[in-house]
């Protein structure tokens, strides 16, 4: 008879099973889709569409996409009451939080360096 993962876990002491379940839940929460995020916020596609001034079908399509503009993703997250935080991780340095992506650029422009050209 084959041994299943569920069978092996069932043989473990209750404390160890609880630790495994807690870690599994942490991992599930760490990797959510847009649909999962919306459901975790107890929102329907219709509610989110109304907040964004769109049709429900637009939200359904957006949740299935794998390639989004940052501004679209930011609006979706903010419509749920959240904030989008982009973090870049390099193996040789601490994480870097990127700012200003996907937002209207309201910061004052800096002078161009001699290696850059300014748009006319």
- The tokens of 117 are what? 């050209």
Tell me how crowded residue 51 is: count the other CB atoms within 10 A of its CB. 16
Quick one: average pLDDT of 102-108? 50
Half-sphere exposure (CA, 13 Å, Cβ side) for 62? Answer: 26
Q: What is the mean pLDDT of residues 12-17?
A: 93
Closest CA to 35 of 45, 47, 50, 25: 45
**Cα(30)–Cα(28) distance, integer angstroms:** 5
- Which pLDDT does position 102 carry in this prediction? 64
| pLDDT given for residue 117 in this prediction | 45
Question: What's the pLDDT score for residue 103?
Answer: 63
> Which domains are seen in the chain, by residue range?
12-98 (1.10.260.40)
pLDDT digits 0-9 by tens, 33-83: 899 999 989 999 999 999 999 999 999 999 999 899 999 999 999 999 999
pLDDT at 87 over 70: yes
Q: Which residues in the chain belong to E strands, given as ranges?
A: 86-90, 93-98
């Amino acid at each position: 008879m084959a041994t299943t993962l569920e069978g092996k876990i069932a043989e473990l002491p209750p404390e160890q099973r609880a630790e495994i379940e807690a870690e599994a839940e942490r991992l599930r929460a760490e990797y959510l889709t847009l649909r999962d995020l919306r459901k975790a916020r107890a929102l329907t596609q219709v509610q989110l569409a109304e907040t964004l001034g769109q049709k429900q079908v637009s939200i359904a399509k957006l949740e299935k996409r794998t390639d989004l503009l940052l501004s679209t993703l930011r609006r979706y997250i903010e419509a749920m009451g959240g904030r989008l935080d982009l973090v870049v991780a390099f193996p040789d340095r601490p994480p870097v939080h990127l700012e200003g992506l996907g937002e209207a650029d309201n910061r004052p422009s800096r002078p161009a360096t001699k290696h850059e050209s300014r748009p006319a």
